[in-house]
Amino acid sequence: MSVNASPTTFPAWQSLAQLAALPQPHLRERLTQPGRSAMQAAADGTGIRVDFTRQAFDGAIQAALLQLAREAGVEAQRDAMFAGEVINTSEQRAVLHVALRGTPGATGNDAPWGAEIQRLVQAELDRVCAFADRVRAGDVKSSTGAVFTDVVNIGIGGSDLGPRMAADALAPLCSDGQTGLRVHFVSNPDAWALHSTLRNLDPATTMVIVASKTFTTQETMTNAASARRWLEDGGIAGSKQSAHLVAITAAPQKSGAAGYPEEHTFTFWDWVGGRYSVWSALGMPLALAIGAKAFREFLAGGQAMDAHFRSAPLEQNLPVILAMSGVWNRNFLNCPTQLLSCYPSRLVRFAPFVQQMDMESNGKRTRKDGQPADTGTGPILWGGLGIDGQHAYFQLLHQGTHRVPVEFVGVETEDTALPLAAEHHRVVNLNLRAQSQALAVGRSPADTLKALMAEGQTAEQAEPFVSQRSFAGDVPNSVLWIDQLTPHRLGALIALYEHKVFVQAAIWGINAYDQWGVELGKTMAKAMEQA
């Protein structure tokens, strides 16, 4: 079958529609089914496992979902991406962020994108890592001969969200704010965003990174011009600025014309989309924050998930499991939203990061063949920290009128240097497990009545409150467990979500790698400026 066809034409889709039309058991019933505990999978070498026992399907539905993936050509499309074929058809580009984390010196099946791309990627990676370590060691000096103490990364979208999220997640490896190199991030062109960052810094010891694919992005260029004026006002003017400026771009001729020195200019390619670019030179602020060795470990984690995605059978393939669970919830259970709930505080920016990756990729109403999508496509993805959410929007999840599937993310071990860290960690993960179970099973009116009577109320006293304190449950959810939050595991987690997005796009027949809606806003803002 054609990968551009509507998924509704696939026999497996029709089978799933028939299964969805049947009475669906409540999750509290599904959880008692024999073999339910087997609905778990792990990716070797990544430290990540997924518990999907609380998804609202059984073996027959799971088999049909996997058959849908086969009929949609997920495996063939996956192989085409890794081989560097043109899968971004609207822009006639390959999609090769996977090549950015390939093993140095790899050839053949370990580098299916080919020798030339492998050479280009590794050469630029070596430049990034060498520069990062030289700055951290104090070997790269400012115009005054001083060691850099601060780096300000100016970018927006993928040029900001990825490295900023990863720096938060890997905070124990970053500066403590008192010693070492401090890395800051500015994206919003609102004046306060830049001012609040620069006001406590010394221009003589500050490096400014300007990250823009085109080096024309309005928001980024506005902040860049203001940062350069700040350097000038601080005595770093004219040619002196060269030592303080770094450009990361796919248009080095434009950054060069703007005065950014060639030796401080790092490049990437048009086959790297912004939301998939943290692995490229755009990861420079992360490499500066955690060091080149840890940055390479981060890349290796992404590569480990790539290897799993390419080789694991669909039944045990983590990106496929997450993607097809989402397809079932979106298209057959008619749930238009998806919550991503992270329980480690260091993953505070992970949900917004994935939100961009997912909604910018799969927020499309037109298939690759130019025809309107006749199914729901990318869900409205939102979320944040789980513990905070429990005291806010989880009320809606438990008793609201929306059925919102959830993906929980937890870390199994904790190494924070705090005397009672183990107790903190126990409480966090206890809450995660409790919420996953509570959303699935809820609490029936009969059980609620028993609970109220156990509190000392009579049946007559309790009856008016039973409906208010009952919980429907039956909310599908999965739990992703990471064994530890290290650079390697974070890289694997990000790659897992990248591939999940890819699989869902393959099912729906849409192009996950353009973003014409984003471009429209940029175009209109430019037109208004010139009017």
Burial of 236 (0-12, 13-18, 19+ CB in 10 A): buried
Token reading at 165? 């999220």
Residue 194 phi, psi dihedral angles, 5° rounding: -75, -45
Asked whether the CA dihedral 61, 63, 64, 68 is positive or negative, the reply is: positive
Question: Which of 391, 455, 460, 529 is the catalytic position?
Answer: 391
Q: What is the DSSP secondary-structure string of 371-431?
A: PBPSS--S-EEEEEEHHHHHTTTHHHHHHSS----EEEEEES----S-TTHHHHHHHHHHH
Q: Single out the catalytic residue among 71, 297, 360, 407.
A: 360
* Alpha-carbon span 364 to 302, nearest angstrom: 26
- Distance between CA atoms of residues 98 and 78, nearest Å: 11
Cα 515 to chain centroid, rounded: 16
Contacts by 427-432, CB closer than 8 A, 24 or more apart = 428/343, 428/344, 428/387, 429/343, 431/343, 431/386, 431/387, 431/390, 432/343, 432/386, 432/408, 432/479
CB contact set of 464 (below 8 Å; sequence gap of 6+): none
Nearest C-alpha neighbor of 134 from the set 304, 348, 287 = 287
- Indicate if 263 belongs to the active site: no
Instruction: Report DSSP letters for 226-248, one per residue.
Output: HHHHHHHHTT--GGGGGGGEEEE
Q: What is the CA radius of gyration of the chain?
A: 25
Contact 412, 366 (CB under 8 A): no
Which residues are CB-contacts of 340 (< 8 A; sequence separation ≥ 6)? 350, 351, 354, 355, 381, 382, 383, 406, 407, 409
The sheet that has 182-186: what strands, in order across it?
Answer: 182-186, 150-154, 206-211, 245-249, 265-267
Rounded CA separation 75/393 (Å)? 37
Alpha helix locations (H) across 31-156? 59-71, 74-82, 115-137
Q: How far apart are CA 218 and CA 250, in angstroms?
A: 16
What DSSP character marks residue 344?
S
* CA–CA dist 321, 40 (Å, integer): 9
Active site residue 391: yes
Nearest to 55 by CA among 38, 76, 70, 80: 38
Annotated catalytic residue: which of 141, 254, 398, 522? 522
Active-site residues, by number, are: 360, 391, 522
